[in-house]
Amino acid sequence: MLFQDIVFWILSVVAVGGALGVVLVPDLFRAALLLILVFMAVAGFFVLLSAEFLAVVQVLIYVGAIAILIIFAVMLTRDVQRGNLPNRLQIPAAVFSALLLAALVTVAVDTQWEFLPAEHQQRVELVQTSAVTTLTGEVLTEEGVTGPEEQAEVREAGLADLLISDYVLPFEAVSVLLLAALIGALVLVRPNPGTGRG
């Protein structure tokens, strides 16, 4: 537990410091690099929360694709010299964000959360690791899940199971959305949108 606490605090400091850097550093390019740092710290949080699959997805998509796209955009727009200036809303925005932060922290601390019952904890942890480990019968027996029905239940549970059963409609909708966004982005960056000629 102690080791996880230390990792949590390090990741928190890196994430919050990096995020402050993203919004406050005048150089946009450095801000984009700090954004990558924040993404990596968030991937670390996912590992701490036993969501290893999401951590890998985070590194692949955010660090590998989104951050690189943003760096490309920063370099291509040549506005780097003017830097990251604030607008007139700076003080109201800071006050509003601070108020929202106070409200969110109060809610997080005050609410009576309904935590997972202790007897489910072990099976839940097995299900959560099922994305990165193969749950064979031997592994499950070692972990104390012995009945054949219980083993089948734990083995069939997982992210993929949810994605193609309960959430199959959002899953398909998101694929159509990605396709539409890709076509939209292609149309937007054509040299002469509207005339139909390239």
Partner 1 sequence: MSFEGFMIVSAVLFCIGLYGSLARRNVLAVLMSIELMFNAVNITLVAMAKYLAPAALQDDISSVLTGQVFAIFIITVAAAEIALGLGIVFAMYRTHESVDLTEATQLRN
Please, which of residues 105-164 interact with partner 1 by CB under 8 A? 105, 108-109, 113-117, 120, 123-124, 127-128, 153-154, 156-159, 161-163
Report the residue number, 114 or 138, with the smaller CB distance to partner 1: 114
* Degrees, nearest 5: CA angle 50-55-57: 135
**CA dist., res. 99 & res. 50, Å (int):** 32
- 170: tokens are 């959002």
As a residue count, the chain comes to 198
Please, which of residues 6-45 interact with partner 1 by CB under 8 A? 7-8, 12, 15-16, 19-20, 22-23, 28, 31-32, 35, 38-39, 42, 45
Please, which of residues 168-197 interact with partner 1 by CB under 8 A? 170, 174, 177-178, 180-182, 184-189, 193
**CA dist., res. 147 & res. 8, Å (int):** 36
Q: Total number of residues binding partner 1 (CB under 8 A)?
A: 97
Please, which of residues 69-88 interact with partner 1 by CB under 8 A? 69-70, 72-74, 76-77, 79, 82-87
- Contact, 28 vs 74, CB < 8 A? yes
Report the nearest approach of partner 1 to the CB of residue 20 (Å): 6
Nearest to 64 by CA among 38, 43, 36, 37: 36
Report the residue number, 99 or 141, with the smaller CB distance to partner 1: 99
Report the nearest approach of partner 1 to the CB of residue 63 (Å): 11
**CA dist., res. 40 & res. 55, Å (int):** 9
Told to check if 61 binds partner 1 by CB under 8 A, we report: yes
Report the nearest approach of partner 1 to the CB of residue 138 (Å): 20
**CA dist., res. 143 & res. 34, Å (int):** 41
